[in-house]
């Protein structure tokens, strides 16, 4: 017994890009939350120089822009406050390891320390002769010191409580623009400079200069420690390079997929997805070319890439893997939020739940005298080991399929034309061709139905996907129905539109041919070499 098949359009070609990996699904799932879409703070008007997340939940973050910084709530993603206490543009911000203090460097060379909650200005660390472009608290446990790097090519190690510089670290020969503290040690940190060098410092051996020196070969824009503390990633020029610190500063890999200067790096984490990518770290890099790329430094492979309309300056990723923020030169903040439980909700729920005593209503035993007895178990979910017997999927027949089954060809064509899905229309036309009934259908159409067809042909006959069939069909339709077209005003309008579209298409084709004519000799020459 033969099965019946509905009329199906041709398959679309699927490239490897369109089948998303779980990881690209993960990175795509960072979406702008609907409730903050309208707030004006998304646009801060000035370039966003730096973004920094608090290491403590709920992971508030600050963005520095012009002579101020704005703190955003990690829960609602709305701006909490803006501090404009600077005499020049703020350049860099860093949270202390407990998230209570915030250090911000500005272009006058001063490093300001604020209370992150009450925004009280606590300390001013003055000492840089030029702009303090980089500030960084140690990340492990040290709460009393911080590092800063300045355009005077000096890296300073500060004691915050006394507002004193403990010592200067000399060695860079150009602006120090970036740096990072080691995630495992309070004494180790790196700084990157425009003299193409990245230096690794250890405050325990401060007088000996840098512990290690790496040559990035481009002005270094950003440098970060990878979570193990043994690898660092540097960005400068179009490159992102991975270095092995333990192995004596060996270059492991150079990623060269950005087209313009890479401005910022940060660590990302693939969290809370199933599969082998779960809880793996990634390097997020943003560049002036508007791309954010996700780099898997275990496989040395770009796993995701996303384009933004503006040049990107800074990037931040919350430690709980829920928020991803990107700042641009235009002052726009792209805040992406994944759907997921914020941990604080958890806590709140638990607190509430403590007081309530669970009081399940006693369910009466079902007996065959109840109506529900006969419906029991319908919502039962199969357990893991159960063998599922699936009900065969019912084939859905749309209107045109039913009409085609009854051999009512013209009605099927009109029905599918009314549905305005070009793929299905072409599929039905192809089926009619296979039955050798298409031209008969065309010649039987009423004026209104012919109008419908002409509208369709005008719209789609120049689309490459359908052009093979539709251009020839348009020709035939005009041939077959010339009399009717002449007599109807609307049809004449359709013909005019069709003619215009065809002329446009011919122009495009000609210019394409011209381009091909220009290119093909070049390719010949290139092939010869």
Partner 1 sequence: MITGGRSFVSSPPAFSNDAKRLLVCTGNTVSVFSTSTGLQTGELEGHGAQVTSVIVVPASTPASKVLCYCWTASLDGTIKYWDFAAPELMRTIHIRFPIHSMVIPSISSERVESNGKYPDLFAYVYIEGGKQKEEQPHSSVGQIWKCNLTKSRLVGGVTLAKTERPGSITISPSGKYIGIYEKRKLLIWEIPGKDSEHHGYKKIRLHHTKPFTVMAFHPTEKVVAAGDVTGRILIWRGVGRRTFSNEINGGVNMDAEDRPGVRDNDDADSCSTWHWHSAQVNVLFFSSDGSYLYSGGREGVLVVWQLDSGKKKFLPRIGAPLLYFVCSPDPSLSSISSADNRIQLLRMPSMEILKSISGIKLPSSHMEIYEGFGSGVVLNHTTGLIAVPTENYRVQFYSLFDDREISEVQICERNHQPGDEITVKVNLVAFSSDGSTMSTVETRLPEEGIGSLFSLKFWACGLQSKHFSLSTVIYEPHRESGISCIAFRPTGHMAVSSSYGGDFKVWIHRHEIPTKDLTLQNNGWTCHAVGSYKKKPMTAAAFSSDGSVLAVAAEKVITLWDPDRNILLTVVGDSLEPITTLSFVGKTEYIVSASRGSNPQLTMWSMSKLCKIWSYRLDAEAVACSMDNSTFAVLALSRLSKSMEPAETTLQDAEGVILLFNVENPVPLSTWIVSKAQGGGLSFVRSNPRLEDEVEPKTPDEVLAYVNGAHEYVLFNPYGGQAGKVSIPHRRNFSVSDETERFGYTSIYGELPEFNLKIDQTPFPSMPSEETWKSIFSGPSHSLPPLPKLCSDFLESLLERRSAAVE
Q: Which of 464, 471, 413, 469 is nearest to 13 (CA)?
A: 464
Identify any residues that bridge with 64 across adjacent strands, giving them in sequence order: 50, 69
Residue selected from 435, 496, 499, 507 as contacting partner 1 according to rule CB under 8 A: 435
In contact, 270 and 317? CB cutoff 8 Å:
no
Which region, left, alpha or beta, applies to residue 209 given φ > 0 means left and ψ of -120 to 50 means alpha?
Answer: left
Residue selected from 181, 313, 473, 485 as contacting partner 1 according to rule CB under 8 A: 473
Residue selected from 209, 227, 349, 468 as contacting partner 1 according to rule CB under 8 A: 468
Least spacing, CB of residue 403 vs partner 1, in Å: 13
Identify any residues that bridge with 267 across adjacent strands, giving them in sequence order: 283
Stretch in the footprint of partner 1 (CB under 8 A) among 249-257, 259-267, 308-316, 434-442:
434-442
Q: Which of 469, 498, 472 is nearest to 485 (CA)?
A: 498
The rounded distance, in Å, linking the Cα atoms of 489 and 495 is 10
10 binds partner 1 (CB under 8 A): yes
Establish whether the linkage from the previous residue to 500 is cis, with ω within 30° of 0.
no
3-state SS class at 528: helix
1 binds partner 1 (CB under 8 A): yes
Least spacing, CB of residue 97 vs partner 1, in Å: 35
476 binds partner 1 (CB under 8 A): yes
Closer of 166 and 467 to partner 1 (Cβ): 467
Which run of H or E residues covers position 456?
Answer: helix 447-460
Number of residues that bind partner 1 (CB under 8 A): 32
Closer of 5 and 387 to partner 1 (Cβ): 5
16 binds partner 1 (CB under 8 A): yes
DSSP letter, residue 40? G
Residue selected from 85, 439, 467, 502 as contacting partner 1 according to rule CB under 8 A: 439
For the window 257-296, what string marks contact with partner 1 as x by the rule CB under 8 A?
------------------xx--------------------
The rounded distance, in Å, linking the Cα atoms of 306 and 20 is 13
DSSP letter, residue 147? E
Closer of 376 and 406 to partner 1 (Cβ): 406
The rounded distance, in Å, linking the Cα atoms of 376 and 372 is 6
Least spacing, CB of residue 477 vs partner 1, in Å: 10
Angle at 357 between CA 352 and CA 358, to 5 degrees: 105
Least spacing, CB of residue 485 vs partner 1, in Å: 19
Least spacing, CB of residue 1 vs partner 1, in Å: 6
247 binds partner 1 (CB under 8 A): no
For the window 21-40, what string marks contact with partner 1 as x by the rule CB under 8 A?
xx------------------
Which residues are CB-contacts of 321 (< 8 A; sequence separation ≥ 6)? Answer: 268, 269, 270, 271, 272, 338, 340
The rounded distance, in Å, linking the Cα atoms of 342 and 340 is 6
Residue selected from 381, 390, 393, 436 as contacting partner 1 according to rule CB under 8 A: 436
Residues that bind partner 1 (CB under 8 A): 1-5, 8, 10-11, 14, 16, 19, 21-22, 275-276, 405, 429-439, 468-469, 472-473, 476
């Amino acid at each position: 017994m033969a099965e019946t098949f509905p009329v199906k359009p041709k398959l679309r070609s699927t490239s490897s890009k369109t089948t998303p990996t779980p990881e690209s699904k993960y990175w795509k799932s960072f979406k702008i939350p609907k409730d903050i879409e309208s707030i004006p703070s998304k646009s801060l008007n000035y370039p966003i120089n730096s973004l920094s997340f608090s290491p403590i939940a709920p992971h508030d973050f600050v963005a520095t822009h012009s002579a101020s910084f704005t703190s955003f709530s990690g829960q609602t993603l709305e701006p909490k406050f803006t501090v404009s206490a600077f005499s020049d543009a703020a350049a860099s911000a860093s949270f202390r390891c407990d998230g209570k203090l915030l250090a911000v460097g500005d272009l006058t060379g001063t490093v300001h320390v604020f209370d992150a909650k009450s925004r009280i200005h606590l300390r001013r660390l003055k000492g840089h002769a030029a702009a303090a472009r980089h500030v960084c608290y140690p990340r492990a446990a040290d709460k009393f010191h911080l590092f800063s790097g300045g355009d005077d090519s000096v890296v300073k190690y500060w004691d915050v409580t006394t507002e004193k510089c403990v010592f200067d670290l000399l060695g860079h020969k150009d602006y120090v623009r970036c740096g990072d503290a080691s995630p495992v040690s309070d004494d180790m940190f790196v700084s990157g400079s425009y003299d193409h060098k990245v230096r690794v410092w250890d405050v325990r051996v401060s007088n000996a200069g840098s512990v290690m020196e790496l040559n990035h070969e481009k002005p270094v824009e950003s440098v970060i420690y990878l979570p193990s503390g043994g690898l660092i990633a540097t960005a400068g020029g179009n490159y992102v390079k991975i270095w092995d610190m333990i192995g004596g500063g060996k270059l492991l890999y150079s990623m060269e997929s950005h087209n313009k200067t890479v401005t910022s790096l940060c660590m990302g984490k693939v969290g809370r997805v199933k599969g082998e990518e779960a809880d793996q770290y990634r390097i997020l890099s943003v560049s002036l070319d508007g791309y954010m790329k996700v780099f898997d430094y275990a496989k040395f492979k770009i796993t995701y890439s996303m384009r933004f309309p503006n040049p990107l300056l800074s990037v931040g990723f919350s430690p709980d893997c829920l928020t991803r923020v990107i700042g641009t030169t235009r002052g726009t903040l792209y805040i992406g939020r994944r759907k997921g439980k914020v941990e604080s909700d958890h806590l709140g729920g638990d607190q509430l739940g403590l007081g309530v005593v669970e009081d399940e209503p006693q369910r009466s035993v079902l007996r065959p005298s109840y109506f529900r007895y006969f419906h029991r178990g319908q919502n039962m979910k199969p357990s893991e080991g159960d063998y599922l017997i699936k009900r065969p999927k019912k084939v859905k027949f749309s209107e045109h399929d039913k009409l085609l089954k009854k051999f009512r060809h013209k009605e099927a064509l009109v029905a599918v034309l009314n549905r305005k899905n070009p793929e299905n229309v072409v599929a039905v036309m192809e089926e009619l061709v296979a039955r050798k009934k298409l031209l008969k259908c065309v010649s039987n159409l009423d004026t209104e139905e012919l109008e419908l067809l002409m509208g369709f042909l005008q719209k789609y006959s120049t689309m490459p996907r359908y052009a093979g069939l539709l251009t020839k069909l348009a020709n035939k339709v005009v041939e077959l129905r010339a009399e009717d077209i002449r007599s109807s005003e609307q049809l004449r309008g359709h013909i005019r539109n069709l003619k215009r579209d065809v002329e446009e298409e011919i122009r495009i084709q000609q210019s394409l041919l011209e381009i091909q004519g220009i290119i093909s000799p070049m390719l010949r020459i290139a092939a010869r070499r």
